Amino acid sequence: MRVVVATGNAGKVREIAEALGGLGWQLEGLGGLPLPEETGTTYEENAALKACAAAVTRGLPALADDSGLEVAALNGQPGVYSARFGNRASDTERNLYLLEKLRGAADRRARFVSVVILAYPDGHLETYRGELTGTLLEGPRGENGFGYDPLFVPDGETRTLAEMTVAEKRAISHRGRALAALIEAHRNGPPAREEAGGE
């Protein structure tokens, strides 16, 4: 099956392509297609906006992830707004901004959430969700990954996500878990659709 990966984030493309290798799908990039603005207030809404736009425009199933970091001491912020936290322009600046906000905070718990949506050109959606809990360091460590990875140590680990390989991160990460659920659902071809309505 040809599937468009509806994201402009190179880190996500890498992780999605690596995770879905076994499905035998032909993954395609956006091909210059602009993504819609993320105007939703939930991961589900934003993932659906991106996946549907690509599916309809390209006439192919399209996959999108919307994800974020929820910090306990910040009442769950930045959440769906993680990509533009503090209006900072780069991963490095956003990490510094987060460290500033957490300076002196004893509670450094956080979780990553990923919602992966596979949208079909006829409007049908499949939704998969994954989470990863951990703690935030007081300074960055590691060069791999993207986003907040250098600050985040998953529960039960000593390394940050940025000190892991793509495969190691996938085995435990929020996106890896959401994608594993998608792979499981597609093991024997596209999953049966539930009847809509029923009344």
Write down the least CB distance from residue 176 to ligand IMP, Å. Answer: 9
Nearest to residue 11, comparing CAs of 76, 82, 70? 82
Q: Whole-angstrom Cα distance, residue 38 to residue 40? A: 6
| By the rule CB under 6 A, 164 interacts with ligand IMP | no
149 is in an annotated binding site: yes
| 91 in catalytic set | no
| By the rule CB under 6 A, 97 interacts with ligand IMP | no
Nearer to ligand IMP, 54 or 193 (CB): 54
Taking CB under 6 A as the criterion, the residue among 61, 130, 134, 147 binding ligand IMP is 147
Sign for the CA dihedral angle at 5, 190, 179, 116 comes to positive
174 is in an annotated binding site: yes
Nearer to ligand IMP, 26 or 92 (CB): 92
| By the rule CB under 6 A, 140 interacts with ligand IMP | no
Stretch that binds ligand IMP, among 16-24, 144-152, 178-186, 188-196 (CB under 6 A): 144-152
Q: Which residues contact 78 (CB under 8 A, 6 or more apart)?
A: 68, 69, 70, 71, 85, 98
| By the rule CB under 6 A, 67 interacts with ligand IMP | yes
Stretch that binds ligand IMP, among 22-30, 103-111, 139-147, 180-188 (CB under 6 A): 139-147
Q: Whole-angstrom Cα distance, residue 55 to residue 35? A: 11
For the residues of 54-91, what is the DSSP string, one character each? HHHHHTS-EEEEEEEEEEGGGTT-BGGGGGGGGG--SH
Q: 66, 91, 107, 155: which is the annotated catalytic residue?
A: 66
Stretch that binds ligand IMP, among 23-31, 61-69, 178-186, 189-197 (CB under 6 A): 61-69
| By the rule CB under 6 A, 145 interacts with ligand IMP | yes
Report residue 140: phi and psi, to 5°.
-75, 150
Nearer to ligand IMP, 77 or 82 (CB): 82
Q: Whole-angstrom Cα distance, residue 159 to residue 182? A: 27
Write down the least CB distance from residue 197 to ligand IMP, Å. Answer: 31
CB 49 within 8 A of CB 92: no
**Which residues carry a binding-site annotation for Mg(2+)?**
37, 66
What residues are annotated to the active site?
66
